């Protein structure tokens, strides 16, 4: 991903720095025009820490067309580092789940095909409806870390048959980002305009997992709510402490 006037360099990654309204205009133009494949990832503080210890994951993130600041930690870190002239501010947090909702509105208006790869038990059939949009869906793999040859072939055939303009990959980080990087040629050949890593966004939208109260969302405390209802995430949340330490180290270097 090249640094542009719509991005800010933060921890070796070019993070989208403008407001969501500017992002949506960009998406609208991409879907209306035949401009080729665009890769979108949504890193948060936890994934930033992951990328520091995983060179391959870092390289994949750096190759994206857009990196959206999904976590409030990225916005706060950029603001803090700007005091020390070590970064420029990011306008606002842009959550993956909110972008999914907006993109579905765009494809509904343009009558385009959508495919979701990943997730479990979304529908008894091969598609589900969300806000009036017919969304094609496949779990993709029984085990995302070790797909079989047959699963790969079935998924490839599905993409060739549907030729979706928009693909959401919900395999969890870093598996979903690595999958996109490995299949970019397949997606490009089948006229996909936008492929986006979305994690558990559809779990929230389809009420598989409860969302944090709105006041916690506004304060950027969704991670705490998720930890309360899923305490097994404690080891992952410890990365937030690592992220704070990483930010302070960058400020004083």
pLDDT digits (tens, 9 = 90+) for 20-29: 999 999 999 9
- H or E element at residue 7: strand 7-10
Q: Which tens digits make up the pLDDT trace of 196-229?
A: 999 999 999 998 888 888 888 877 788 788 778 8
**How far apart are the C-alpha atoms of 26 and 212, rounded to whole Å?**
29
Average pLDDT, integer, range 168-183: 96
- Adjacency order of strands within the sheet including 166-170: 66-67, 38-41, 194-197, 166-170, 114-118, 133-138, 127-130
Q: Name the residue among 139, 166, 178 with its Cα closest to residue 30.
A: 166
Average pLDDT, whole number, for the chain? 92
**Beta bridge partner(s), residue 218:** none
Average pLDDT, integer, range 97-113: 95
Whether residue 2 is predicted with pLDDT greater than 80 in this model: the reply is no
CA dihedral (33, 36, 42, 47) in degrees, to 10, reads: -170
Tell me how long the chain is: 253
Quote the pLDDT of residue 195: 98
**Do 217 and 189 form a contact (C-beta atoms < 8 A)?**
no
Quote the pLDDT of residue 58: 97
pTM, rounded to two decimals: 0.94
Quote the pLDDT of residue 235: 76
Whether residue 83 is predicted with pLDDT greater than 90 in this model: the reply is yes
Average pLDDT, integer, range 148-176: 96
Q: In the structure, what pLDDT confidence band is assigned to residue 247 with cuts at 50, 70 and 90?
A: very high
**Do 181 and 60 form a contact (C-beta atoms < 8 A)?**
yes
Q: In the structure, what pLDDT confidence band is assigned to residue 126 with cuts at 50, 70 and 90?
A: confident
Q: Which tens digits make up the pLDDT trace of 39-53?
A: 999 999 999 999 999
Quote the pLDDT of residue 127: 85
**How far apart are the C-alpha atoms of 152 and 140, rounded to whole Å?**
8
Q: Is 182 helix (H, G, I), strand (E, B) or coil?
A: helix
**Do 74 and 51 form a contact (C-beta atoms < 8 A)?**
no
**How far apart are the C-alpha atoms of 197 and 174, rounded to whole Å?**
9
**Residue 163 or 5, more confident:** 163
Q: In the structure, what pLDDT confidence band is assigned to residue 187 with cuts at 50, 70 and 90?
A: very high
**How far apart are the C-alpha atoms of 52 and 57, rounded to whole Å?**
9
Question: What one-character DSSP code corresponds to residue 185?
Answer: H
């Amino acid at each position: 991903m090249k640094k542009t006037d719509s991005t800010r360099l933060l921890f070796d990654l070019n993070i989208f720095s403008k407001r969501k309204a500017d992002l949506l205009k960009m998406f609208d133009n991409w879907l209306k025009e035949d401009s080729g494949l665009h890769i979108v990832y949504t890193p948060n503080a936890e994934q930033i820490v992951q990328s520091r210890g995983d060179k391959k994951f870092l390289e994949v993130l750096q190759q994206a067309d857009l990196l959206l600041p999904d976590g409030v930690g990225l916005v706060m870190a950029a603001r803090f580092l700007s005091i020390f002239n070590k970064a420029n501010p990011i306008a606002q947090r842009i959550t993956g789940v909110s972008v999914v909702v907006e993109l579905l509105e765009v494809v509904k208006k343009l009558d385009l095909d959508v495919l979701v790869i990943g997730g479990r038990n979304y529908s008894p059939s091969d598609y589900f409806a969300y806000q009036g949009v017919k969304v094609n869906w496949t779990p993709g793999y029984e085990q995302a870390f070790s797909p079989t040859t047959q699963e790969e072939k079935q998924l490839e055939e599905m993409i060739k048959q549907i030729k979706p303009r928009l693909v959401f990959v919900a395999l969890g980080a870093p598996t979903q980002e690595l999958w996109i990087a490995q299949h970019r040629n397949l997606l490009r050949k089948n006229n996909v305009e936008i492929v986006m890593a979305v994690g558990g966004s559809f779990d929230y939208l389809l009420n598989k997992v409860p969302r944090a109260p709105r006041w916690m969302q506004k304060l950027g405390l969704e991670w705490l709510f998720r930890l309360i209802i899923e305490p097994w995430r404690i080891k992952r949340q410890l990365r937030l402490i690592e992220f704070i330490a990483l930010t302070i180290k960058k400020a004083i270097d």
